Amino acid sequence: MIKKASFIISNTDFRKCPSPDKPEFAFIGRSNVGKSSLINMLTNNKNLAKISGTPGKTQLINHFGIDDKWYMVDLPGYGFAKVSKTLKAEWDKMIREYLTLRENLVAIFILVDSRLDPQKIDLEFILWCAEQEVPFALIFTKADKQSHSKTTTNVSKFLEEMKKLFGDEPDYFVTSAETSTGKDDVITFIEENVAEFYKR
């Protein structure tokens, strides 16, 4: 359980991020996938990450300190609709450099909208992460927005795509920011990896 979460710094350059002396977990997904709501639910702080109806609101690498033990990082979404190509290229470079060069990054959580069939943009990003050897887990969001059977069907479809790509399915969690579904499982996964980090 997270007791304390506080905003530390926002950056456009991974080199200016906090000292890499604590394990770090980043959250990323397609624009409007429910990332801010999920972060606020996990941290029991509805004002921690800014929620917006406008896709692409998060434009920086945002660091939050959690219980003085680890960092939670809110990354810009991918697949913005309404930004210039120049700005999009800058954001892409910023994210790529952060994901491949940040030495204390333990894992990224890739958020996937559980209401949708597998989206090409999500699959491409996951494949890129695998090729770059960036460790990841999947978080299916908005499970409360439809029937349980519909969520299960869509998650199964996505996992089938993962098996086609990798021969296996990655770690995954089904969540709802509204009902806190999946919260304990995600936090347990993080805490286990934090413990492993400090054993090194």
Residues whose CB is less than 8 angstroms from the CB of residue 51 and which lie 6 or more positions away in sequence, other chains included: 36, 37, 40
Each residue's pLDDT, cut to its tens digit, for the chain (200 residues) gives 899 999 999 998 999 999 999 999 999 999 889 999 999 999 999 888 875 555 555 678 999 999 999 999 999 888 755 667 787 788 788 999 999 999 999 999 999 999 999 999 999 999 999 999 999 999 999 999 999 999 999 999 999 999 999 999 999 999 999 999 999 999 999 999 999 999 98
Identify any residues that bridge with 66 across adjacent strands, giving them in sequence order.
5, 70
Distances (CA, A) of 106 to 43, 70, 81, 94, 167: 18, 10, 29, 18, 23
Q: Which CATH architecture has domain 5-199?
A: 3-Layer(aba) Sandwich (3.40)
Whether 176 contacts 142, CB under 8 Å: yes
For residue 187, what are the β-bridge partners? none
Query: Residue 112 in contact with residue 140, Cβ under 8 Å?
Result: yes
pLDDT value for 77: 82
> In the chain, count of helices (H) and strands (E)?
5, 7
Closest CA to 90 of 54, 60, 124: 60
Quote the pLDDT of residue 85.
78
pLDDT at 55 (0 to 100):
52
Q: Report the C-alpha gap between 6 and 8 in whole angstroms.
A: 6
Contact in structure between 58 and 35 (CB atoms under 8 Å)? yes
Q: Quote the CA–CA distance of 115 and 112 in Å, as a whole number.
A: 9
Domain spans, the chain: 5-199
Q: Which residues contact 200 (CB under 8 A, 6 or more apart)?
A: none
**63 vs 39, 81, 86, 138, CA distance in Å?**
12, 25, 24, 20
